Structure 1
Amino acid sequence: MGKCSSPSIRRRIGAWLLPGCGCRFTVWAPARNAVRLRLVDSGRSVDMRKDEHGYFTAEIADLAPGALYLYDLGEDGLRPDPASRFQPEGVHGPSMVVSSAYDWDCNTWQTPPLSRWIIYELHVGAFTPEGTFDAAIKRLDHIAELGATCVEIMPVAAFSGCRNWGYDGVYPFAVQACYGGPDGLKRLVDACHARGMATVLDVVYNHLGPEGNYLSLFGPYFTDKYHTPWGLAVNFDGPWSDGVREYFFENARQWFEEFRFDGLRLDACHAIFDQSAVPFLQELAERTANLADELGRPCVLIAESDQNKTRTILPVAEGGLGLQAQWADDFHHALHTLLTGEREGYYEDFGQISQLATAYEQPFVYSRTYSAFRQRTHGSSAAGLPGERFVVCAQNHDQVGNRMLGERLSTLISFEACKLAAAALLLSPFVPLLFMGEEFLETNPFLYFVNHEDQALNTAVCEGRRKEFESFHWQGEPPDPVAAATFERSRLDWAKIEGDYNRHTAMLAFYRRLTALRASESPLMRLAPWAVRTLWSEKGRWLYLLRSAGEKEALICLNFAAEERQVRPELADGCWNLVLDSSDPAFAGPGSALTACLAPGEALRLPPEGACLFLKQRE
């Protein structure tokens, strides 16, 4: 094999239409001595030229979009393109030449700053009965009216079968056919922008799925130097890793440039193993920043990581990797344990009111702190960092779907406690993420589902799920992830909010009120966790926060007790006006004894499992 490609040289891998009528095919296959291009419709085979960097190229005249092709690897058979843009016949079938051109309707879109993002996470297949991009478009008005400003789409890279969370993708450039293919995804992005909402795509760069994964036949895409929970690690720092890195750099560029996504959520960055002097994530951030300058708009990278490592989001000049934001799971864990009382698995590290108070002031509860679950000191301090650098949630696909029965909070805690969870999240000084359906109290579970063509693999998945839940000591058997019924149970039930006034519509009204307040009141718009003042009682199970900005101050009171609690906040002079009460009958609440205007020194009677917000204009 020759030397790897220079990082300064951009190569468009895959099938690219040429001006006029023709197509250039490029595949990185340094492990091969020869690769032939096979055109499926005509049966024609063409020898491809190999350069010194391991790239094979061929140009075909008179080839239009829709042409099917494969790469002939001799004894290793006919295989799809590793950079396939579309797999209309599934992961084992031929790749299709597609046009990157698209007639965009929304050409004046401007990405809002991260501090204004309210993210709505959805799974395309389970979001609607049809499970397609076009069906999702019909529900975008609901998301916009909710007050969300960003739609995050779970992975859509082509995977085996048609029921999958998306983290088993094996063609990172190809958009899943049963969802609607590449043009369907572009229509969805375009429709989000037309409604004033940014878009984020969940991408997986730490591993590829098991079925239809033929990349190792082409080159050293993977390494056994490291191990992930899902299979071989991607080779980001070993021999020939330059070409692997280029593969994923091009993938990120595709989503930003061609599909016009505003951001990428990078799955499980803690499983991207890389000991090189300039790590893959740092170079990705640098290249993405250059692309943002080229495109004239922000391109946001959000890391999912459980490491509580601030280096991920610190600027490169300060020794960081340079990503714009990261998930902060400690906030979720602290909130979840207070709401449910669960202490199994990683929840054993949480359960105190003081931990949630810490999470409001800096999102990493474990910041060079001993973790009993990990049996070691964990994390770094995020104190002083802006709140828009952290994404927090009360529910997400992982925290719901990785429960054995996929229960949402709506089936684990009371109706009033669900409103408490919503207020705790949306009144926080961080970027909130909502998981589809939580805003209208969806009770359908979100279960883990797959339907690989390989039955032995399906069996292995079922056994793996059983072992995964051992540390949580849950009773019973997990639902069969392969069964179609498991997937059907996970779909949203939109009928819950299409009838008369009920708890579901009341919850939706409560969420809309919260998002409206967050978008209009300056103390809630200011994402400055270092300026948050908290006071709490472990015994009383209550917590309050004081937030301020300009001429306004906000008092947020949260009562996690099942009984009324009396609290006497330490307030500045003036009248503090009640603007939100989760117990309000307008939100199907039981009513409360909260005063409409709170004076300093006056006692508050917090309703059971209640949340309230007071605002004061400074003198």
Structure 2
Amino acid sequence: MQFEVWAPQAQDRVALRVADDDVPMERDEERTGWWTAEAPAADGTRYGFALDGGPVLPDPRSRRQPDGPDGTSAVVDQEAYEWHHAWRGRALPGAVLYELHIGTFTPEGTFDAAAAQLAPLAELGITHVELMPVCPFPGTHGWGYEGVSLWAVHEPYGGPEGLKRFVDTAHGLGLGVVLDVVHNHLGPAGNYLPQFGPYFTETHHTPWGAAVNLDAPGSDEVRTYLLDSALAWLRDFRLDGLRLDAVHALADNRALTFLEELSAAVDGLSETLGRPLFLIAESDLADPRTTTPRARNGIGLHAQWNDDFHHALHTTLTGESQGYYADFARAPIAALAKTLTRAFFHDGTYSSFRGRVHGRAVDVTNTPAHRFLAYSQTHDQIGNRALGDRLSGTLPPGLLACAAAIVLTGPHTPMLFMGEEWGASTPWQFFTDHPDPVLAEAVRSGRRREFAAHGWAEEDIPDPQDPETWRRSCLDRTETRQEPHARLLAWYRELIALRHGQPDLSDPDLASVKVAYDEEARWLAYRRGDLRIAVNLSAEPVEIPLGGGGRVLAAWQPVDPPGTDGMLRLPPESCVVLANS
């Protein structure tokens, strides 16, 4: 078997440690900085690289880390797994996504345990599950955003074979699988890349320190490293798409950006494989260029999370106005109405939170609406709160139902966060499992300081290193058989069925969405083709001028269609979907 490694930092020699043997590696005469060697190996064989007589380090392109980020790598035979389900892919238009974290989706926290719970999602009407990162990270429990070894899979979850079984099971149920990948930072624990080559650069700095090297000397190989990793997930694990974490943190001043290269490479792989593949960006830029096709001088990603929609909806529901919610709190329903028709709230408008103008002043109504993801909750928007509290921790069932109606009947691609569909009472908190006591204490004290600055008592902030913090965050499915959870779950099922069954709800034309609202009375109504959706967010009944006629397709509370006077009388904290005839 041929082993190879890019190690331009090595001065004199690189040795391959395979099993218990040391094999000298030779410089590749055709590829600068690359070293190669031949050695017998099979699936599971342990190996690593020693640079200039130093310690044995894991392979930067390791496909498996049996002992975690600090251990030696293991050979993986990609052809060994026997796939049971043929799969032609499932495209993003018309999708309903479901974000889940393998470690808390079930108490067991494994791919196999999670796979056993996929059938209810397919029955619910979910089309794609979006996995939070699964690359190796320190310890057993964590969010996954401190991962390293961008080609490998966290062993406590089940390793590469476990992920393949999960994907295979999902595909057998008709579910696509999307994976969250992190290109903007790695580690810090277990990150040996700087010893091999210039994977990071001091040219740019990010909240995590030196930036991933996308444009400084040596960046050609770094970009290839990231590109090849992304394609490997889609090809070898048969994934349907990738969610790209915080692309606004990818410092890249080259004329052809890494994201454009990645978009082109994924489109090429899609053509080769004969099935749809897509990239979803998390971006803080409110920039339509992110999803504008490359042929129109855009970056060419296929969709992006839309935090503007979330912030407007969250502020409308909760009245919160701290931090970035301040921009939306002045007129939250008006902000929500704007995101339903123009996707972004910040489109060249002043942001008091940032102290400057934010977003791009461009009409996005010619962009297909499915390119924007809408949600009322995500791992970020729950887990980065001091107590990790969900909306269900503070809102009554009626307002949760209204949030579901807006997300699932709006023009954007809807996404749920695990447990949302039944109003899970379990929080989703920030948890880590760092074996390094110094790093563990730094994370613990840093989080407490952060929230203490916002008025929280330090003793009230959950300890990320306490196993109970992880345990509290695991879903409790017994709730689905109890009220009010069972009723809310039935409501989600009804709305998702409507979304799949009513073509007007999948219409990608943002310009066709017509919205009316009353900020003071706290109601919102909008038209999707022949359908009308009305939401009463107040604690009092409201009358909404919708025009006469129609029939009720779905309602949270019993309600009659508009009378001859054209007024819809909607109970408090309630919502309805109406057809014109």
Task: Identify the TM-score tier after normalising by the shorter chain.
Answer: over 0.9
Q: What residue in structure 1 maps to residue 553 of structure 2?
A: 579
Residue 606 of structure 1: aligned partner: 570
Q: Supply the distance in 1 between the matched residues of 2:413 and 2:161 (Cα, whole angstroms).
A: 30
In structure 2, the partner of 1:369 is: 349
For 1:110, the aligned partner's letter is: R
1:56 is matched with 35
Per the TM alignment, residue 469 of structure 1 is displaced from its structure 2 partner at its CA by: 3.3
Aligned match of 2:488: 507
Structure 1 residue 112, shift from structure 2 partner? 2.8
Mapping 1:442-521, distance limit 5 Å: 442-469=424-451, 472-476=454-458, 477-497=460-480, 499=481, 501-521=482-502
The aligned residue for residue 418 of structure 1 is: 400
Per the TM alignment, residue 471 of structure 1 is displaced from its structure 2 partner at its CA by: 6.7
Within 2, Cα distance between the matches of 1:44 and 1:221?
Answer: 26
2:411 aligns with: 429
Q: In the superposition, relative to structure 1, how do residues 471 and 117 fare at CA in structure 2: closer, same or farther (>3 Å)?
A: farther
Aligned partner of residue 45 in structure 1, secondary structure: strand
CA 1:134 to 1:37, structure 2 compared with 1: closer, same or farther past 3 Å?
Answer: farther
CA drift of 1:24 comes to 1.4
1:533 equivalenced with 2:514 (yes/no): yes
Corresponding residue of 1:616: 580
Give a deviation string over 1:513-532, Cα, whole Å, max 9, x none: 00000000121121322110
**Cα distance between partner residues in 2 of 1:305 and 1:470:** 28
Q: Indicate conservation of the 8 Å contact 2:10/2:52, yes or no.
A: no
Which residue of 177, 183, 189 corresponds with 1:205?
A: 183
Identical aligned pairs, as a percentage?
45
Change (3 A) 1:300 1:471: farther
Q: In 2, distance between residues paired with 1:410 and 1:128? A: 19
Which amino acid in the other structure matches residue 355 of structure 1? A
Matches within 5 A, 1:114-133: 114-133=92-111
Deviation track 1:319-343 (CA, whole Å, cap 9, x = no partner) reads 2111111111010000001111110
Match of 2:262 in 1: 284
Equivalent pair of 2:16/2:37 in contact (CA under 8 Å): no
Residue 470 to residue 534, structure 1, CA distance change in 2 (3 Å): farther
Aligned length: 574
Compute the displacement of 1:502 (Å).
Answer: 2.0
The letter of the residue matching 1:504 is H
What is the one-letter code of the residue matched to 1:556? I
Note the 1:210-289 alignment, pairs <5 A: 210-289=188-267
Alignment CA distance shift 1:393-1:474 (3 Å)? farther
Contact kept, 8 Å, 1:76 with 1:217, in 2: the verdict is no
| Corresponding residue number in structure 2 for 1:559 | 536
Q: Which moved more, 1:605-614 or 1:513-522?
A: 605-614
Instruction: Please list the CA deviations of residues 559-578 of structure 1 after superposition, one character each: whole Å capped at 9, or x if unmatched.
Output: 11111111112x3x7x3101
Distance across 1 between alignment mates of 2:38 and 2:222: 23
| Cα distance per residue 1:246-297 (max 9 Å; x no partner) | 0001001101111111100000000011000100000111111111111111
**Is 44-53 or 394-403 further displaced after alignment?**
44-53
AA at the equivalent of 2:391:
L
TM-aligned CA deviation for residue 453 of structure 1: 1.5
- Assess if the C-alpha contact under 8 Å between 2:16 and 2:25 holds in 1: no
Distance in 1 of aligned mates of 2:442 and 2:209: 13
Q: Partner residue of 2:526? A: 545
Query: Residues 491, 241 of structure 1: CA spacing in aligned structure 2 closer, same or farther, 3 A cutoff?
Result: same
The answer to whether the 8 Å contact 2:377/2:416 transfers is yes
CA distance in 2, matches of 1:557, 1:474: 37
2:311 touches 2:328 (CA, 8 Å); kept in 1? Answer: yes
> Map of 1:2-151 to 2, 5 A cutoff?
23-39=1-17, 41-51=19-29, 52-61=31-40, 63-74=41-52, 76-101=54-79, 102-107=81-86, 109-151=87-129
Alignment check: 8 A CA contact 1:344 1:473 kept: no
2:150 alignment partner, SS class: strand
The one-letter code of the counterpart of 2:354 is: R
Letter of the structure 2 residue corresponding to residue 555 of structure 1: R
Query: Does structure 2 retain, via aligned residues, the 8 Å contact 1:24–1:57?
Result: yes
5+ residue gaps, structure 1: 1-22, 584-591
Change (3 A) 1:35 1:194: farther
CA-to-partner distance for each residue in 1:36-78, whole Å, 9 max, x for gaps?
Answer: 34435323333343334211111113x2111101101135421
Residues 1:269 and 1:104: Cα distance change in structure 2 (over 3 Å): same
| Distance in 2 of aligned mates of 1:26 and 1:41 | 16
8 A contact 2:401–2:491 mirrored in 1: yes
CA distance in 2, matches of 1:243, 1:41: 28
- Cα displacement (A) at 1:474: 4.2
* Aligned counterparts of 1:79 and 1:41: Cα–Cα separation in 2: 14
Q: 2:377 aligns with which of 373, 383, 395?
A: 395
CA separation of 1:110 and 1:80: change in aligned 2, threshold 3 A: same
Q: Measure, in 1, the Cα distance between the counterparts of 2:463 and 2:255.
A: 44
How high is the TM-score relative to the length of structure 2? Answer: 0.96
- The residue number in structure 1 matching 2:296 is 318
Q: What is the alpha-carbon root mean square deviation over aligned residues? A: 1.5
Residues 11 and 52 of structure 2 are in contact (CA less than 8 Å); yes or no, is this contact kept in structure 1?
no
Report if the CA contact (8 A) 1:35-1:71 is conserved: no
Cα 1:470–1:347 shift into 2, 3 Å: farther
SS of equivalent residue, structure 1 residue 116: coil
**Residues in 2 aligned to 1:118 and 1:35: alpha-carbon distance in whole angstroms:** 52
Question: SS at 2:435's partner residue?
Answer: coil
Contact 1:85–1:96 under 8 Å retained in 2 = yes
Contact 1:401 1:447 (8 Å CA) reproduced: yes
Query: What is the Cα deviation at residue 442 of structure 1?
Result: 0.5
Q: CA distance change for structure 1 residues 482 and 252 in 2, over 3 Å: closer, same or farther? A: same
Given candidates 157, 161, 164, the residue that maps to 1:186 is 164
The amino acid of 2:538's aligned partner reads A
- Normalising by structure 1, we get a TM-score of 0.90
The one-letter code matched in structure 2 to 1:150 is: H
Counterpart CA distance in 1 for 2:290 and 2:134 is: 25
